[in-house]
Chain A
């Protein structure tokens, strides 16, 4: 279980202070897929980096399975928005996926299996020896997802992973995330600024206010578990839910203006 309690982050530079996160509390249950959505500039990435143990919060705490996070927790994988910078360009696709496994001291044979399965799961069989930059943007993000999947995480953090790919690729990748989540039974915290995406993907959507950020509202997405780009998005319930989220985000923006 992922618990975020009273999380606050203030950036200091000289005498200037910027309060990015004010007071965030939410939980993600084991095996749950929760989307975090908020207006742009609301500190989503700051929040995610605190959860990933890459950034120390000013106060409050993050717990994974009851243990306080004070550095990247084992069993957690992150998919970053900037796939072009997150994949290592000097390594082949295979080496990119393998390096974290080597660090985890996974035996060689098992590494081979994990790499093959992960690349197969994201539909990239046969690209092992290619360099990431030889692939399209969507394929590169698939490599990053394969790297996360092969790592066998219990928790998967995704930071606006599809913000930089085109709309069609994006739909494919959304379905890929749903499929992998169901198959691997991992806990996923998915950060996005796209309201439709959050409703389509999540079991629950946590809406954030503008910076300094608090949790604006939470919404359970009671859509059927089988989701489909055509029927789900045309479902009246989907439209109702996305309207709810949209209104909350608008309220958040208006409040920020005051």
Chain B
């Protein structure tokens, strides 16, 4: 019963919005905002299996490559910076500077170095995603409880085990927060980098539709992007909940006492 209720609550607003759009746009004569019915028909026609493999798969591959690379770099550098006060003092101003640069600005610059291939797109995604991951990891590592660290030290938990069994798990809630922020940035940058220069991909395709005045198709691409982002964040939330079950439990236990 509770599950059913939850599902109804979660689905209600999207359903209302969808129905509202459908009804209000039904008689639309505007060339740029066609009826939702037309868009849905275009959606079915446009996003065939061939198109999904030709345009959506490359986009997703770039997205995951960039995101994973950013995660590895961000967490590794974040742990190093978080653990060393001296390193932190040296690099923090530089980090703040780089973080303040909006990554899309760098697309033309990165194109000069990395060309217009997949490498460029992955670099753009990495450059945008790495900051929230890095900075959250630094904060998480800095916030590791002193008693936890002393316990580890006095029981000979040093070296790699100290990082993997103590520091990283302790910082994992913050790292997850950084990863969550980075995921939405990754999707945005995937699309933007493909809009600048590409021969395939979701962003590229949407721009192509727009330029050739295939308006219902363009809208269907935007719908697909929205769905994609939604599914990815849902998957992320599921993975996060599994990995951080201990954290939820701990917080619930602390609230009770």
Contact = CB atoms under 8 A, between A and B. Distances in A.
Interface of A: 49, 52-54, 72, 74, 76-78, 80, 82, 85-86, 88-91, 99-100, 102-104, 131, 133-134, 147, 151
B250 interface: yes
A80 B157 contact: no
B2 interface: no
Interface string B218-257: 0000000000000000000000000000110110011000
A131 B249 contact: yes
Interface in B104-146: 145
Given A52-B154, A72-B155, A133-B249, 5 more contacts: A80-B151, A91-B165, A99-B155, A99-B161, A133-B246
B172 interface: yes
B37 interface: no
Contacts of A89: 246-247, 250
Nearest to B252: A133
B153 A54 contact: yes
B21 to A, nearest CB: 44
A88 B169 contact: yes
Interface centre among B155, B170, B254 (most CB of A within 10 A): B155
Nearest to B173: A90
B155 A80 contact: no
B173 to A, nearest CB: 10
Contacts of B150: 49, 54, 78, 80
B161 A88 contact: no
A207 to B, nearest CB: 26
B172 A90 contact: yes
B148 interface: yes
Contacts of A54: 150, 153-154
Contacts of B166: 88
22 contacts: A49-B150, A72-B154, A72-B156, A77-B154, A78-B154, A85-B148, A86-B148, A86-B151, A88-B148, A88-B169, A89-B246, A89-B250, A90-B170, A90-B246, A91-B165, A99-B157, A99-B161, A104-B156, A131-B249, A133-B246, A133-B250, A133-B253
